[in-house]
Chains A and B, each alone.
Chain A
Amino acid sequence: AQTVTQSQPEMSVQEAETVTLSCTYDTSESNYYLFWYKQPPSRQMILVIRQEAYKQQNATENRFSVNFQKAAKSFSLKISDSQLGDTAMYFCAFMKKYGGSQGNLIFGKGTKLSVKP
């Protein structure tokens, strides 16, 4: 079974600075997707960034980028130029691409990020 671990329950960062959130996962699959979702106080789950395992290039979305290390099974999220609106819970998630349970997201327990003015 797949597992996702986020080892930092809480983090804080000053506005305009850079912060990195950690995520590791355990799987025997070779084809899969990895996601970061953001959950602000409004509780809405919002997709931040997505990575396909077969792609070696790290995904980027504006101020958000990932460091995907497939061999190490690591998928960290870097937020540059942090903004007050980035304050939220961040969840790392794994999805098999093929076979049983394909399409089901496995979530980590989340990291609560606070951006301070």
Chain B
Amino acid sequence: DADVTQTPRNRITKTGKRIMLECSQTKGHDRMYWYRQDPGLGLRLIYYSFDVKDINKGEISDGYSVSRQAQAKFSLSLESAIPNQTALYFCATSDPWTAQETQYFGPGTRLLVL
């Protein structure tokens, strides 16, 4: 089984809808991240969490919210989806004590907002 899983893998939604992307990990890492990838722009950080009670905004947090339900689960929500949120979304985890700051990525969720 994959260490970092994301659901759904693909999603089509309409403008104005609320959607949630979910991330789960079995690596036992405390730190979790949400990134967005747009063509030609690389990955950009949306939110990150260093533990269940520590959640921080990243470079492009506007229009997004997150929830850290447990050490292993980190969800990303789009409260009212808009077409320019069409992108590939990645969850990642890390552990500075055992993984030496290396981030491990999930398989990604491709989101299309019509």
Residues of chain A touching chain B, judged by Cβ–Cβ distance below 8 Å, are 4, 33, 35, 37, 42-47, 50, 91, 95, 97, 103-105, 107-110
Whether the Cβ atoms of A107 and B42 lie closer than 8 Å is: yes
- Asked whether, in the complex, the Cβ of A97 is within 8 Å of the Cβ of B105, the reply is no
Question: In the complex, A47→B103 CA distance in Å?
Answer: 8
Q: Is the CB of B107 within 8 A of A103?
A: no
Once A33-B101, A50-B100, A97-B101 are accepted as A-B contacts, the answer to whether A104 and B108 lie under 8 Å apart by CB is no
Scoring B residues 73 to 90 as 1 if CB is less than 8 Å from chain A, else 0, what string do you get? Answer: 000000000000000101
Instruction: Determine the distance from Cα of A109 to Cα of B94 in the docked complex, in whole angstroms.
Output: 22
Query: Hey, which chain B residues are within 8 Å of A47, CB to CB?
Result: 102-104
Number of A-B contacts (CB under 8 A): 51
Bound-complex Cα distance A104 to B96 (A): 12
Tell me whether B58 is interfacial, beta carbon within 8 Å: yes
Q: Which residues of B contact A103 (CB under 8 A)?
A: 31, 48, 50, 94, 96, 101
Query: Interface residues of B, CB < 8 Å — how many?
Result: 26
Q: Which residues of B contact A97 (CB under 8 A)?
A: 101
Residues of B within 8 A of A (CB): 31, 33, 35, 40-45, 48, 50, 58, 88, 90, 92, 94, 96, 100-105, 107-108, 110
Interface centre among A42, A47, A105 (most CB of B within 10 A): A105
Cα-based distance from A26 to B32 in the complex (angstroms)? 25
Instruction: Across the A-B interface, give the 5 residue pairs with the lowest CB-CB distance, nearest first.
Output: A45-B105, A107-B42, A107-B43, A109-B42, A43-B108
- A23 CB to nearest B CB, Å: 12
| A43-B107, A50-B102, A97-B101 given; A108·B42 CB < 8 A | yes
Knowing A44-B108, A104-B58 are in contact, say whether A110-B42 is a contact too (CB < 8 A): yes
Q: How far is the CA of A50 from the CA of B104 in the complex (A)?
A: 13
A102 to chain B, nearest CB (A): 9
Contact indicator B45/A105 (Cβ below 8 Å):
yes
Task: Give chain B residues whose Cβ lies under 8 Å from the Cβ of A33.
Answer: 101
Nearest-neighbor residue (CB-CB) of A33 within chain B: B101
Give complex CA distance A37, B45 in Å.
Answer: 16
